Amino acid sequence: MTAVDARRYAHRRRSKLTQPTPDIRPWEVLESSIVFSNRWLRVRRDVCRTNRGNIADYYIVERFDYVLIVALTPESEVLIVRQYKHGAGRVIRELPAGYIEDGEDPLQCAQRELREETGYEAASLERMAVLMASPSAAQNRAHLYLATGLRKVGEQRPDANENIIVEKMDFEQAVQAAARNEVFEDLSSPVALLMAWHRQPARIGR
């Protein structure tokens, strides 16, 4: 199935719930404490009474929300950043992304990260979705943006520990690669690409 076929198929099959959803009660937090904290994250221990009546320890990672940008050139190419990720222990490809700083608006963060990581600015930045990154173990969210009307305005301005190479890939080929679990190894990039492909293709890249 090509990316075009996938988009048409998704349009025909609108999601709907076929059965009523029963009420599920939230867990009751009996005790809460911070067991680790630094400038990047906190780990919180909650003692909970589950909705089945069990008492359980549960650990939540509190991290900043982050943005991720599908940045499309007028030639319908998507910007990809290649860099070393220590969590993975190797160099990977993903879309431009970064954490939202304290007090920063997600849109401002998307503008800043696009400029810093790629040297590009966008005439239009549209938020496509806000998704939970890992709802079982963390509270932070991913803000997915579509950037169009790109123009190169200068050199990259990476952080002190970043070494980023910017690459370009045909947008449709990138979507197909994401659907085949190729090129991208992170979770958010394929999701964002497929969302961007599904949106008003007549104005994509313009």
3-state helix, strand, coil split of the chain in percent (to 5) is 20, 40, 35
- Contacts of 161 by beta carbon, 8 Å cutoff, 6+ apart: none
Residue 204 pLDDT class (50, 70, 90 cuts) = low
Of the ranges 6-10, 18-22, 27-31, 80-84, which one carries the lowest mean pLDDT score?
A: 6-10
Mean per-residue pLDDT over the chain, rounded: 89
How would residue 19 be classed by pLDDT, with cut points 50, 70 and 90?
confident
* Distance in angstroms (rounded) separating the CA atoms of residues 55 and 49: 5
Angle (CA) 105-106-107 rounded to 5° is 90
- pLDDT range class, residue 199, cuts 50, 70, 90: confident
Q: Is a pLDDT exceeding 70 seen at residue 102?
A: yes
Binning pLDDT at 50, 70 and 90, where does residue 23 land? confident
**The two structure tokens encoding residue 200:** 């008003």
Assess whether pLDDT exceeds 90 at residue 81: yes
Structure confidence at residue 203 (pLDDT): 47
In angstroms, the CA 26 to CA 112 distance is 37
| Cβ-Cβ contacts under 8 Å for 143 (sequence gap 6 or more) | 65, 66, 67, 68, 100, 106, 109, 110, 127, 129, 130
What's the average model confidence in pLDDT over 26-33?
96
Distance CA 128, CA 191 (A): 11
Taken in order of first residue, the domains within the chain and their CATH numbers are: 28-62 (no CATH), 64-203 (3.90.79.10)
Q: Give the residue among 163, 192, 201, 144 at the shortest CA–CA distance from 7.
A: 201
The model's pLDDT over 153-171, given as tens digits with 9 standing for 90+, comes to: 999 887 778 899 999 999 9
For 7-21, 30-44, 55-69, which range has the lowest pLDDT when averaged over its residues? 7-21
Q: Which two tokens stand for residue 57?
A: 């320890």
Distance CA 77, CA 170 (A): 4
